[in-house]
Amino acid sequence: MPTLVQPVLPEPRGPISMSVVDLLAERAQLRYLTRVETSLADADPAGLDVQLALYICYELHYRGFAGVDPGWEWNPGLLYLRGRLEELFLEDLRRGVGHIGPDVSALEELDALCVEPLQGNGPSYFLRDEGTWDQMREYFVHRSVYHLKEGDPHAFAIPRLTGQAKASFVAVEFDEYGAGKGARLHQQLFTDLMAAADLDTTYLGYLDTVPAESLAVVNVMSMFGLHRRWRGAAVGHFAATEVTSPPGSRRMVAALERLGAPQECAGFYREHVEADAVHEQVVRTDVVGDLVAREPGLDQDVVFGIRAFGLVEDRLAEHLMKCWLDGHSSLRRPLD
Ligand SMILES: [Fe+2]
Ligand SMILES: [Fe+2]
């Protein structure tokens, strides 16, 4: 079966995403040098309309959408709107993250992340101890808007790095990209997981199904990756992802074994228990350590990236747990 390379444009979920979707239906003509002036007065930065609009704008830099003029990627009128959405999102992240004092250091922040409680109340603990197979499948769907492009958002940061930080960053990305083997691309391993769980394996096939919280998890990394100004935050986000991955993945393996899930499902997380244990060390010393030694002015940005990662992950976790404990689906459209 040939796989669809480009995703289908999702349905808009409010006036802002509507203005983006409507625009993309047209050809990217020169007259769109004029700014796309959509009102953001009542926009909720963490809400579905803003997060979906941002996700669509960013996707133009990844695979684009079937039937959408590739010229939109660098259209100044649309980039103007995206810039305003990013301002809103950043403000919301800054508020959520709080003040970062001058005495905080990225390496100390990472060390603190390494200490994981044995008992927690997040989704991976819940899935390990009592979650159902249906809830597990929902979890895969939420994560699919990231894992099907795993490695890609951070890859935008590569040209902005130098020296050892760059070499080690790429070494970790090399593993994310299957170390030269297409079948071992983490994106492919997640596709295999989706197939084994009887879910749609189409790239972004669930874009219309996931809530704002799942989109924000990816939007934050796209935003950091696409702005040179945020390279410190991109590295912080990358580091936080790698450091928290082994313990979280270990709980997922335990959950999948308890549920008797197909091998491919546990396989994806097993890969992350093993590979990321090595990545954790590389990222801490050779990526973050080298970057902040080279550019000490980025230390606070790295911390911002680490905390922004925590913030959007916590919001998704809170959403999932609220829905599951209330006994309903965490998706906008329940799976059949
Ligand atoms: Fe991975
Ligand atoms: Fe990794």
**Nearest ligand (C-alpha, residue 241):** 2
**Nearest ligand (C-alpha, residue 172):** 2
| Residue 31: DSSP 8-state | G
Q: Is residue 118 part of a domain?
A: yes
User: Which residue shows structure tokens 């393996």?
Assistant: 253
**Nearest ligand (C-alpha, residue 188):** 1
Which pLDDT band holds residue 30 (cuts at 50, 70, 90)? low
**Per residue in 115-147, pLDDT tens?**
777 778 899 999 999 999 999 999 999 999 999
Domain boundary among 97, 122, 143: 97
CA 176 / ligand 1 centre spacing (Å)? 5
pLDDT at 1 over 60: no
CA 14 / ligand 2 centre spacing (Å)? 35
Here the contacts of 279-285 (C-beta below 8 Å, separation 24 or greater) are 279/172, 279/175, 279/242, 279/245, 280/114, 280/242, 280/243, 280/245, 280/246, 282/168, 282/171, 282/172, 283/168, 283/172, 283/238, 283/239, 283/242, 283/243, 284/107, 284/110, 284/239, 284/243
CA 67 / ligand 1 centre spacing (Å)? 30
Tell whether 193 and 88 lie within a shared domain.
no
CA distance 275 to 244: 12
Q: Is residue 30 part of a domain?
A: yes
Q: Is residue 1 part of a domain?
A: no
CA 186 / ligand 1 centre spacing (Å)? 5
**Nearest ligand (C-alpha, residue 189):** 1
pTM confidence score = 0.96
Average pLDDT over residues 50-74: 96
Q: List the one residue out of 162, 192, 186, 189 whose CA is nearest residue 174.
A: 186
Tell whether 149 and 248 lie within a shared domain.
yes
Which pLDDT band holds residue 267 (cuts at 50, 70, 90)? very high
Q: What single-letter amino acid sits at 176? A: E
CA 154 / ligand 1 centre spacing (Å)? 12
Give the residue numbers spanning the domain of 141: 106-326
Tell whether 197 and 61 lie within a shared domain.
no
pLDDT at 118 (0 to 100): 72
CA 24 / ligand 2 centre spacing (Å)? 34
CA 57 / ligand 1 centre spacing (Å)? 24
CA 74 / ligand 2 centre spacing (Å)? 30
pLDDT at 148 (0 to 100): 97
Tell whether 130 and 162 lie within a shared domain.
yes
**Per residue in 196-254, pLDDT tens?**
999 999 999 999 999 999 999 999 999 999 999 999 999 999 999 999 999 999 999 99
Please list, in sequence order, all residues whose beta carbon lies within 8 angstroms of the beta carbon of residue 230, skipping any fewer than 6 positions away.
Answer: 223, 224, 301, 305
Q: Domain tally for the chain? A: 2
CATH of the domain at 280: 1.20.910.10
